[in-house]
Amino acid sequence: MKTAFVYSDAIARFDYGSRHPLKPFRLKLAYELIRACGLLGSPDPRVVEAAPAGRDELRTFHARDYLDVLAASNSGRPAPGAERYGLGPGDNPVFPGMYDWSALIAGASLLAADLVDSGEVQVAFNIAGGLHHAMASRASGFCYINDPVLAIRRLVDRGRKVAYIDIDAHHGDGVQEAFSGTDRVLTVSLHESGRSLFPGTGFAHETGSGAGTGFSVNVPLPPETDDELFVHAFSVVIPPLIESFRPDIVVSQLGVDTFRTDPLAHLNVTTNGFCGMVSMIRDLSPKWVALGGGGYDIANVARAWTLAWAVMNDAVAPEVIPAAFLGQYAGAGFPNNRLRDVPYTIEGPQKDMMRKEVERVIAVVRENLQRRH
């Protein structure tokens, strides 16, 4: 399997601010752990240097006036009217290099799409990508430029059918909105219910519009959902959809804010369930553009995406994190010095209630799909 790891050290040099939960440093941590585990070994040319997307490339989705404000705020001082575009204190701070950071991530996702579409590789992974909340004219949910939309649009413009699979804890609202009216893109998002988590969307009745009716699929899961139920919902919903849609390329968002110790969501996924879903995506994808996403426990991010990269390469990752890496990043909080989590499941009445809710949602999704056909 030919693979490409699209990355630049420059991505980790930006800073949302000391109190912001999104830490770009987590990307360098993941890259360094992948390398320490021997998964980027020479002479295999797997690492491909990312380059920023140009203004014209960003304009394929984002509005000109919005990009003007982003660029004008790149110094770290908000441009006049920035708040109208979702920029300012809180989720989407104005920080030095904000536009440069966003353009670099977008360029990395576009490069990943190009590498896969050309046949140069079968799988390309941009761990910095997956900023799925950004809207055409507004920043949202820590996201300024929607790199999944840009990558998918490029592929669709070339005549490709694309399936987008999102397993982040938060609904992939920006991607769904961008493609809700087309049957050339299937968007599927499994996430914590919008009743308990930002952005408050992604309910099962959201199925698209016009020609795209039935091509937006949402599986909202109850808080505290564990590996067993998350993987069950994935395995029941995703494979039949992909087999029916028959995409040319799969684009996936592999957010790990679903994990038990993530501070921003309320789910109980571990590396065990996560790797199971990554393996299924690999097996279902004729070609695969993999993107990162959420994850606010930086040790979880590094461990999970190291394991995901191993799956993409049919490689075996070590059980124990290399001692030299742990010595260099002693304060990053790696539990028990191991890559994989101990299995975790919930039992009892709480599990019974969650199972009923998950089965109810799956039944609604199936009914929606039957109605489409």
7 φ, ψ (degrees, to nearest 5): -160, 155
- 182: which DSSP letter? -
Query: Per DSSP, what are the bridge partners of residue 252?
Result: 165, 290
Give the CA dihedral 20, 69, 14, 309, nearest 10 degrees.
Answer: 90
Q: How far is 201 from 115, CA to CA, in rounded Å?
A: 32
Question: Which amino acid does the sequence have at 365?
Answer: V
Q: Which of 118, 182, 196 is nearest to 149 (CA)?
A: 182
């919008």: which residue's tokens?
194
Residue numbers annotated as active site: 171
Q: How far is 73 from 85, CA to CA, in rounded Å?
A: 11
Q: How far is 132 from 176, CA to CA, in rounded Å?
A: 9
Quickly count: other Cβ atoms within 10 Å of residue 48's Cβ. Answer: 19
Q: How far is CA 245 from CA 185, 250, 348, in A?
A: 9, 11, 38
Write the CB contacts of 279 (distance below 8 Å, at least 6 apart in sequence).
311
CB contact at 8 A, 325 and 35:
no
DSSP conformation letters of 212-280: GTT-EEEEEE-TT-BHHHHHHHHHHHHHHHHHHH--SEEEEE---TTBTT-SS---BB-HHHHHHHHHH
> Cα Rg for the chain, rounded, in angstroms?
19
Q: How far is 370 from 23, CA to CA, in rounded Å?
A: 42
Helix (H) or strand (E) holding 164: strand 162-166
Start-to-end Cα distance in the chain = 35
